[in-house]
């Protein structure tokens, strides 16, 4: 006769613990991402978001200079003799960054593991966003008919997907570190 796993008190305790972890993660994630959206919609952190947008425009102009463009930036405006675009609020890439950081912070792992994920993940997302901006610049020059679709539909979905993949990679890495320490 097989043991009944449903009536095993250890399984019930493990299931309750897993449910608590999932509910806690989802609750903390929802609170953190809601705070992000509230701060963006209320303008609380406009200066910080605009500073982020300015740095993205400036760094993107440097990349374009390396690629042979006569690009420059002033505040959030990226311009050249061939094309100009504004890296404004909502276009600066902070939303996928906020999703990634919220998921990472919400997960119940030690802060030393979270800190590594925050540093590496934020840097990766920031640099990928620069290439997204450069891609939009070139699409505005060579494919203006699809610029809006790339800007409002394709790149946001891809960028959020990349943020999710980065979080999963961090989760696997951190889980491996925890398992290695347990041995």
What is the reported pLDDT for 16? 81
What is the reported pLDDT for 4? 58
What is the reported pLDDT for 7? 60
What's the average pLDDT block by block, 10 residues per block, for the chain (183 residues)? 58 80 95 94 85 94 97 94 91 91 95 95 95 96 96 94 96 91 78
pTM for the complete prediction? 0.85
What is the reported pLDDT for 6? 58
Backbone angles phi, psi at 57, to 5 degrees: -65, -45
What is the reported pLDDT for 119? 96
Cα distances from 112 to residues 101, 105, 162, in angstroms, run: 14, 11, 23
What is the reported pLDDT for 111? 94
């Amino acid at each position: 006769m097989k043991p009944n796993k449903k009536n095993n008190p250890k399984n019930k305790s493990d299931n309750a613990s897993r449910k608590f972890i999932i509910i806690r993660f989802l609750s903390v994630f929802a609170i953190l991402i809601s705070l992000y959206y509230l701060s963006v919609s209320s303008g609380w952190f406009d200066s910080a978001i605009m500073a982020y947008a300015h740095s993205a425009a400036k760094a993107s102009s440097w990349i374009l200079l390396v690629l042979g463009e006569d690009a420059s930036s002033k505040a959030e405006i990226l311009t050249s003799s061939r094309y100009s675009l504004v890296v404004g609020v909502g276009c600066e890439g902070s939303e996928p960054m906020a999703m990634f950081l919220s998921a990472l912070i919400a997960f119940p792992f030690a802060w030393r593991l979270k800190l590594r994920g925050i540093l590496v993940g934020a840097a990766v997302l920031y640099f990928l966003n620069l290439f997204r901006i450069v891609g939009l610049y070139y699409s505005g020059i060579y494919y203006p008919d699809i610029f809006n679709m790339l800007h409002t539909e394709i790149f946001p979905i891809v960028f959020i997907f990349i943020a999710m993949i980065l979080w999963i990679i961090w989760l696997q890495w951190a889980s491996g570190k925890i398992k290695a320490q347990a041995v």
